Amino acid sequence: MKYIKCILLTILLTPAISHAIFRIYTGTIGQDNAEFYFDDEYAVYLDGKEHEVKRLSFIREHNNMFNYEVYYANSFEKMLDKIVIENVDGGIFNHDADAYQYLTGHSLNGDKINLHKTFEYKKYDERSLREAEFNNIDYLQQDSTKDFYFKVIISKKKNEEANIVGIKIYSKHDGRLIQTITGIKGCEFHGYANIMNHEKSDYNFDGDNNDFFLVKDRYHGPNSTAEYYVY
């Protein structure tokens, strides 16, 4: 097995600021297990049918539902399904981290959706900064490579920001955990967009699109840093 090698590079980008409530819900879509990872009302998820990350593209409508079009996370070429989360007030969902312990809904394909919240964290919130504390939470990443998808491992101490302390690499073929990278330091948590992959990126010039990078401090801005991994 070839193991991940790491290259630390500094990249210059443009500034950006974000605010978010991060949540993890687990449950079922029809008869299949499912994991949903929310950044406010936006989300990515995995289901038990296939080991591909899917993106929920939010359709803004004035009702008490969240309406989504479902795509593979790395492509908008073909809509796979539609998902409706019922009885949700967007204002409450986006500002009250304690709300909505359960979510229910249905898909266009007719499957019932039942989800239970297992994790929540309100970033850029003074109370969360002071009081929230957790260890080794796995959080799915939107970007994937040809053969792998990823979860970052996040931890937080009181009076500190949440940080990434590791990466888990999974096979798209069978969902098997391939490798766990530990010992990551100085890496802020940005939800499902900490790991990125560009289709034409090939950092080690081997012709195999399985390379990716980890955003370490912020998405954009002078002297932002990222760790580049080649596989």
Task: Give per-residue pLDDT as tens, 148-163.
Answer: 999 999 999 999 999 9
Whole-model pTM: value is: 0.84
Residue 46: C-alpha distances to residues 24, 29, 230 (Å) = 12, 10, 24
Count Cα atoms within 13 angstroms, Cβ side, for 108. 9
Please tell me whether residues 143 and 110 are part of one structural domain: no
Residue ending a domain, among 122, 140, 161, is 122
Q: What's the domain count of the chain?
A: 2
**Do both 152 and 100 map to the same domain?**
no
Q: What is the average pLDDT score of the chain?
A: 84
111 and 91 in a common domain: yes
147 vs 212: CA distance, rounded Å? 12
- For residues 111 and 131, membership in a common domain is answered with no
Q: Are residues 173 and 84 in the same domain?
A: no
Nearest-10 Cα torsion for 84, 88, 94, 97 = -110
pLDDT tens by residue, 70-105 = 999 988 888 999 999 999 988 889 888 788 999 999
Q: Are residues 29 and 42 in the same domain?
A: yes
Residues 138, 102, single domain; the answer is: no
Q: Which residue has the tokens 């409450």?
A: 92
Residue 160 DSSP label = S
Same domain, 44 and 12: no
Q: Which amino acid belongs to residue 111?
A: D
Q: Can you give the pLDDT at residue 19?
A: 62
Residues 210 and 115 in one domain: no
Structural domain of 150: 5-16+127-230
Are 145 and 210 in contact by the 8 Å Cβ rule? The answer is yes
- pLDDT band at 25, cuts 50/70/90? very high
Q: Are 20 and 30 in contact (CB under 8 A)?
A: no
